[in-house]
Amino acid sequence: MRAHRWKFAGTSLLCSTLAVCGIASAQNPPQKPPPKSTQKPGAPAADTQVPSPVSRHYPILIVAHGNEPSWSLRLGMKGPERLDRSVYPPIILDPGETTAEESGSAWTYHAKDDATNADVTVRVSREACSDNMSDAKYTFAVMVHHAQIGDLQGCGQSAPDKFPEFRKKNQLDMPDEFDDKNKPTDKDKEKDKKLAVLDPITNFHPPVSVAYLEAGRVVFSRSAVKKIAAPAGSELAVSHDGKKLLYTRSDSKMGPERSIVLYDAETGRSVDIATGNARSAFWSPDDARVAFLKYDGKLWQVWTLPASNPGNAALFSPQAVDSLHGWISPNTVLASDMQNTWFLSEDKPPQSIPLKDVYGDTFQIMSSDTIRPNPINSDLWLVTAYYLNTPTGAPTDSMGLNSTFFLFEVKSHRRTILGAPDTFARAAEWSRDGLQIFFTRGVAGKNVLATSRVFWDSTGLKPYSPGSYLVVGK
């Protein structure tokens, strides 16, 4: 019995082992095989938690805005496309990469300032936002960082209905130019790509009172009625009411002696108001005073005189300067020497900005250059200057130089070239509404000089009038 029990035990052990191997014994019926696994090689086990993929979609067709300072941003199909600030020209943006934060409720858009190539980032987060100027609630909080301008905070809202209308309107206003095969040129395509995001400027006011030089003569035009104010002259300035004209007259063919003349368009009379080597006169904002440069035998200084009593001229500032560029405010003028621009005031010490900060590495400093503060924003300057390195193919003067004009923002030092590289431009001047720029086009001695006009956002370029060195009064 002991041996039999051992044999049974051994037999049971063998059967058990064979059953594991898939071989049935008489005592154990066949078992169904386990279901075949559908898990792919290398895949995590079924009970492993797999994170849900984060959506790479980001919000588009958003209009954002903020206050203090006032600004707005358009976020188009590909990202940021345009930044607007109050009393500045719009900034066209070239969209770049967009990244989403892990939360899935915030995104960072990268872009470049088309004019300066400065980096721009826009962070949009989906959260309730208020602009503190109204009771309106917005879907997104928006932070804009411009490498030159700084940070702007505000709110945004999806506004897809505004974008098609915006583009359609601009397509109608900006027709294509065509090549000899009647197809849009590459230059046109690039221009249209940039201008498609700009609203056409329609709220400008054409000048009604201007002065310019034509065949050397001083022409004064009021409401399209032209009068010859003088047979010769330079450095023209029309009063804000459009009734009077200042110009510089040379008193010697051989020497530097000059005088400032006041011409009254209503009476047709002219009178010398500053003599003894005086030049470069500008009307004050209220037309009550005239600022001008006077030479004392050693240096040029800024003087002023009452328009109603020119005999009471007085020294405005003892600072030695080379050029006068106009009034910044009722009691401050802008002047320059060969190193600095100067803010000269009756009630403050002189302040300066290095000219190299204004000109950068692109332009060279000359005393014949002009700087004109914008009439509605003194932080925005219009500068006419010569390139250090002439652009390829650009027209040049007898010295082999090319001149153009650019905008300079005093606070941010942002610089935007407006003059076309195939143009020789001098004496750029603002309109009184601050939206238009008039400049002399052509090279003296090579071309017939004429005046062209362009808007401050570089659109609307067109010939304006014959003559050169045009200035606007009203």
166-170, 369-373, 454-458: the lowest-pLDDT one: 166-170
- How far apart CA 473 and CA 222 sit, in angstroms, is 9
Q: CB under 8 Å to 425, separation ≥6 — which residues?
A: 384, 403, 404, 405, 419, 439, 440, 441, 452
CATH match of 209-472 with 2.40.30.10: no
Q: Is 137 exposed, middle or buried (0-12, 13-18, 19+ CB in 10 A)?
A: exposed
pLDDT category of residue 399 using cuts at 50, 70 and 90: very high
Tokens of 323: 């050029």
- How far apart CA 237 and CA 53 sit, in angstroms, is 67
pLDDT category of residue 281 using cuts at 50, 70 and 90: very high
Apex CA 190: angle with CA 89 and CA 174, to 5°? Answer: 65
Handedness of CA 126, 131, 137, 138 (dihedral sign): negative
**pLDDT above 80 for 26:** no
Neighbours of 231 (CB within 10 A): 10
Q: Are 186 and 91 in contact (CB under 8 A)?
A: no
pLDDT at position 56, please? 54
For 71-101, what is each residue's pLDDT tens digit?
Answer: 999 999 899 999 999 999 999 999 999 999 9
pLDDT at position 163, please? 80
pLDDT at position 173, please? 43
Enter the DSSP assignment of 175: P
Enter the DSSP assignment of 26: T
Residue 281 backbone dihedrals phi, psi, to 5 degrees: -90, 145
Q: What is the mean pLDDT of residues 32-52?
A: 49
Q: What is the mean pLDDT of residues 319-338?
A: 97
For 194-237, what is each residue's pLDDT tens digit?
Answer: 667 888 999 999 999 999 999 999 999 999 899 999 999 999 99
Neighbours of 287 (CB within 10 A): 15
3-state secondary structure of 213: strand
pLDDT category of residue 254 using cuts at 50, 70 and 90: confident
The residue that leads in pLDDT, 181 or 202, is 202
pLDDT category of residue 10 using cuts at 50, 70 and 90: very low
Tokens of 69: 């300072």
pLDDT category of residue 3 using cuts at 50, 70 and 90: very low
Q: What is the mean pLDDT of residues 272-295?
A: 97
Q: Are 184 and 178 in contact (CB under 8 A)?
A: yes
Q: What is the mean pLDDT of residues 336-347?
A: 96
Residue with tokens 């030089």: 213
Q: What is the mean pLDDT of residues 252-278?
A: 92
pLDDT at position 51, please? 47
Cα distances from 64 to residues 76, 141, 213, 227, in angstroms, run 11, 9, 46, 50
Portion of the chain with pLDDT greater than 90, in percent = 74
The residue that leads in pLDDT, 272 or 38, is 272
How high is the mean pLDDT of the chain? 86
31-45, 141-155, 157-171, 273-287: the lowest-pLDDT one: 31-45
pLDDT category of residue 184 using cuts at 50, 70 and 90: low
Beta strands in 313-420 (DSSP E): 314-321, 323-329, 332-336, 340-345, 351-354, 363-364, 370-374, 377-387, 403-409, 415-417
pLDDT at position 25, please? 38
Tokens of 252: 């010697």
Q: Where are the domains of the chain?
A: 62-160, 209-472
Helix, strand, coil share (%) of the chain residues, nearest 5: 10, 45, 45
3-state secondary structure of 12: helix
pLDDT category of residue 192 using cuts at 50, 70 and 90: low
126-135, 276-285, 330-339: the lowest-pLDDT one: 126-135
pLDDT at position 11, please? 36
**pLDDT above 80 for 37:** no
21-30, 390-399, 449-458: the lowest-pLDDT one: 21-30
Q: CB under 8 Å to 151, separation ≥6 — which residues?
A: 143, 144, 145
**pLDDT above 50 for 138:** yes
- How far apart CA 227 and CA 40 sit, in angstroms, is 92
Q: What is the pTM of this model?
A: 0.82
pLDDT at position 180, please? 44
